[in-house]
Amino acid sequence: MTSGNEIIPAPRAVEGPTRCGVLLDDSTVLWAAPGTGSTERWLRATLGAALGLPLRPGPKEARGGVRLLVDDTLGPESYRLSVIADRGVEIRGGDPAGVFWGAQTLRQLLGPEAFRRAPVRPGTRYGVPHQIIEDGPRFHWRGLLLDVARHFMPKEGVLRHLDLMAAHKLNVLHLHLTDDQGWRVEIERHPRLTEVGSWRSRTKLGHRASPLWDERPHGGFYTQDDIREIVAYAAGRHITVVPEIDVPGHSQAAIAAYPELGNTDVVDTRSLSVWDTWGINPNVLAPTDDTLRFYEGVFEEVLALFSSEFIHVGGDECPKEQWRDSPTAQARIGELGLAGEDGLQAWFIGHFDTWLAARGRRLIGWDEILEGGLADGAAVSSWRGYAGGIAAARAGHDVVMCPEQYVYLDHRQDGGAEEPVPIGYVRTLEDVYRFEPVPPGLAPEEAAHVLGTQANVWTEAMEDPARVDYQVFPRLAAFAEVAWSRLPAPERRDFAGFERRMVAHYERLDALGVGYRPPGGPKPWQKRPGVLGRPIEGTPPVR
């Protein structure tokens, strides 16, 4: 069993634990009040299956039972987990999500066996020490971006990551569904997006400067039923799925499928294929009415699939050369009286901001969407550092902080020569643990616009799920604590204490089958000798 002092992310307050406690066994019953059904189902299907406990329905007063209830005196997503000897286990949540997060903490208290899929010691009685844990999140948005466009992750992999997110109390999955290298969501009115756009003929291995290629075709996509399943599975774990459909840059896969979407007066878009390498692609969408209508059709189907308040439209890394050379684009700039190509991009993004707002949704995009002006209701994902987030918050826009200098998990974890396909600056477990999402200098009313934070997993150099595991873990555990817990200032954080708690957490990750980076460095099968990366030396500039 585990004490409350080994919980990740760290809870707000723990009273106890003491030696006495509650034993869970075949006779333990589960009572669930209205509003707690998702946690009731999860406890039986996941925790019950792992430990061989049936958790049969029983009366609220059952001695030694487990009780679930909503208590609106607690805050959103907050919970109180009480383990009282001779009385049982009670989880009170400020809302259904709070009850669920309390159940995640109970799972950790039961030890690593609770993270398996079936019991390894049938008939065991599982003890939980007597204690009371009171907890709640610092941020409303605690996110993970999965880039399934560069390397496709089959549906089962996405469902697995939703379970891993739930285990760390993360609640937003940002699903990066389209890019130059692939289109991953079925759009029924535009079937060539997946017939053509979801497959590339080969793939660059490593950084774009690498001479190596994987000559096998790569691709795949999610059917609309797959997406519905992913969204429903996430909702059962109180996770929101935010889709990203990139416009107007990062769009070569779409242009390869429908050449008329590109700048046909500048390049022969019919000769383009789904891109097989990495970097910033010059082939961007044409700023025409036909392009707008096409993507309105795309977004109509996306809105029917995803229930999230926010829809991500990308908006980053959109080269302007084709627009500068395009008579069509220049005519549109003149017709609308725009301030050059930056104004044209702002107009493009602004169109979809208005379109989404009219349908009760909110646009969010990368911090480049600030250039040329931003509509009032739009939110910003600040990735190039803090500056975009600061500017957005001061202008009254909501912000998700995800600066690459701290929370881009494709960046390498160590400076050693054995680190596989080393990308970017060294970002250690401690670096992530000392990340502070709210930049200094924001006034309280400005800081209130920081919705939360997100770790981003870009998969150019992650060719399979094992590589994703290696890059994401254990750093996601540190990030989860930053996003959930009310930690001291970065320089005052107890990283040594976090490392001690990670000893127990590594056992949980082992039970879950996570191929994390060991503290001592990569295992032989985790290395990628000879595959060129792009390491950058020194301390990253924090802007």
**Of 77, 90, 113, 179, catalytic:** 179
Per-position DSSP letters for 270-317, written without gaps between them = GG-----S-S--S--B--SHHHHHHHHHHHHHHHHH---SEEEEE--S
Backbone dihedral angles phi then psi of residue 29, each to the nearest 5 degrees: -105, 160
pTM for this prediction: 0.97
- Nearest CA to 516 out of 480, 467, 454 is that of 467
H or E stretch at 216:
none
> So what's the pLDDT on residue 354?
95
129 contacts 83 by C-beta, under 8 angstroms? yes
Tens digits of pLDDT across the chain (543 residues) = 556 689 999 999 999 888 789 999 999 999 999 999 999 999 999 999 999 999 999 999 999 999 999 999 999 999 999 999 989 999 999 999 999 999 999 999 999 999 999 999 998 999 999 999 999 999 999 999 999 999 999 999 999 999 999 999 999 999 999 999 999 999 999 999 999 999 999 999 999 999 999 999 999 999 999 999 999 999 999 999 999 999 999 999 999 999 999 999 999 999 999 999 999 999 999 999 999 999 999 999 999 999 999 999 999 999 999 999 999 999 999 999 999 999 999 999 999 999 999 999 999 999 999 987 787 789 999 999 999 999 999 999 999 999 999 999 999 999 999 999 999 999 999 999 999 999 998 999 999 999 999 999 999 999 999 999 999 999 999 999 999 999 999 999 999 999 999 999 999 999 999 999 999 999 999 999 999 999 999 999 877
- The confidence score (pLDDT) of residue 3 equals 61
pLDDT of amino acid 181: 98
Q: Strand ranges (DSSP E) for 25-140?
A: 29-32, 56-57, 65-70, 79-84, 88-93, 126-135
Torsion of CA 401, 403, 408, 413, to 10 degrees: -120
- Please pick, among 190, 207, 250, 449, the residue that the annotation labels catalytic: 250
Cα 209 to Cα 521: distance, rounded to the nearest angstrom: 25
81, 150 contact by CB (below 8 A): no
The answer to whether the CB of 513 falls within 8 A of the CB of 115 is: no
Residue in 317, 371, 414, 436 annotated catalytic: 317
Query: What's residue 4's pLDDT?
Result: 62
pLDDT score recorded for residue 509: 98
Residue 431 confidence (pLDDT):
97
Phi/psi for 57 (5° steps) reads -60, 145
Tell me, yes or no, if 179 is annotated catalytic: yes
The per-residue pLDDT for 209 is 95
